[in-house]
Amino acid sequence: MSHPTAPLDARHLRPAGRATRAAIEEAGRRLFGSHTYEEVSVRAIAAEAGVDPAMVIRHFGSKEALYLRSIDTSLGVGAVIDGPVETLGRRIIAYFLDQRDSPIGKRHAGLVQASYRQQVRAELNRHTRVRFVDAIAPRLAADDAELRVALMVAQLGGFLTMLFVQQDPLITDADPDQVIVLYGDSLQRLITG
């Protein structure tokens, strides 16, 4: 009989592990990319990847951990930030108003929904610091530049939540150009006096 301890030949540990892990990560990226945190179940990810639900946990520890790996917290805003700071306000609002039918809205909604989780919060704070504060504050003259940028992120977040989550018709149905001017300039004044 095959003794359990020592099969010398069964040394093909295989790409087995790697393949399923990759499949799970890929499935997570697809689902979390276009659906909200709560909308995506571990079972759904497993089904999409063609593996058992337990594998998801086994490989990533938790649904939250996989979520953190899968999501792009930047929402694609990098290029906008790299542009001139003097016009950042209007450009960033215009950018997001342009994403209304893209999956970015869903992604933001997912982040908001998941933000009560400690690790997600930590990642968002890290993101604020790296992508916004460190990228923008050095380009500003004010000595309270870091606080100004952090407050700008707060203000921007409020807009995104209103646009993508709360979807108040007062704003979603408003003239985009008017919103760009009003809110964009408000953002702008916060960072550049």
Partner DNA sequence: GTCTATAACCAGATAGAC
Partner DNA sequence: GTCTATCTGGTTATAGAC
Binding site residues, its own copies, CB under 8 A = 36, 38, 109, 112-113, 115-116, 121, 124-125, 128-129, 133, 144, 146-148, 150-151, 153-159, 161-162, 165-171, 174, 178-179, 182-183, 186, 189-190
How far is 186 from 121, CA to CA, in rounded Å? Answer: 26
Phi, then psi, of 75 in degrees rounded to 5: 55, 25
Tokens, residue 66: 């996989």
For its own copies, which is the closer residue by CB, 52 or 168? Answer: 168
CA distances to 1, 5, 13, 14, 31 from 10, in Å: 15, 11, 8, 10, 36
The binder of 166, among DNA, its own copies, none, by C-beta within 5 to 8 A per type, is: its own copies
Determine, following the binding rule CB under 7 A, whether residue 151 of this chain makes contact with DNA.
no
CA atoms within 13 A on the CB side of 185: 5
Q: In this structure, are residues 92 and 77 in contact, taking their beta carbons and an 8 Å threshold?
A: yes
Nearest partner of 78 among 29, 127, 126, 142, judged by Cα:
127
Taking the CB of residue 101, how many other CB atoms lie within 10 A of it? Answer: 7
The binder of 134, among its own copies, DNA, none, by C-beta within 5 to 8 A per type, is: none
Determine, following the binding rule CB under 7 A, whether residue 14 of this chain makes contact with DNA.
yes
For DNA, which is the closer residue by CB, 53 or 103? Answer: 53
The binder of 44, among DNA, its own copies, none, by C-beta within 5 to 8 A per type, is: DNA
Determine, following the binding rule CB under 7 A, whether residue 47 of this chain makes contact with DNA.
no
Candidates 29, 30, 35, 58; binder of DNA (CB under 7 A) is: 58
How far is 66 from 83, CA to CA, in rounded Å? Answer: 32
For DNA, which is the closer residue by CB, 54 or 79? Answer: 54
Determine, following the binding rule CB under 7 A, whether residue 69 of this chain makes contact with DNA.
no
Nearest partner of 154 among 20, 162, 97, 86, judged by Cα:
162
Determine, following the binding rule CB under 7 A, whether residue 42 of this chain makes contact with DNA.
yes
Contact residues toward DNA (CB under 7 A) are: 4, 10, 12-14, 16-21, 40-44, 51-59, 62-64
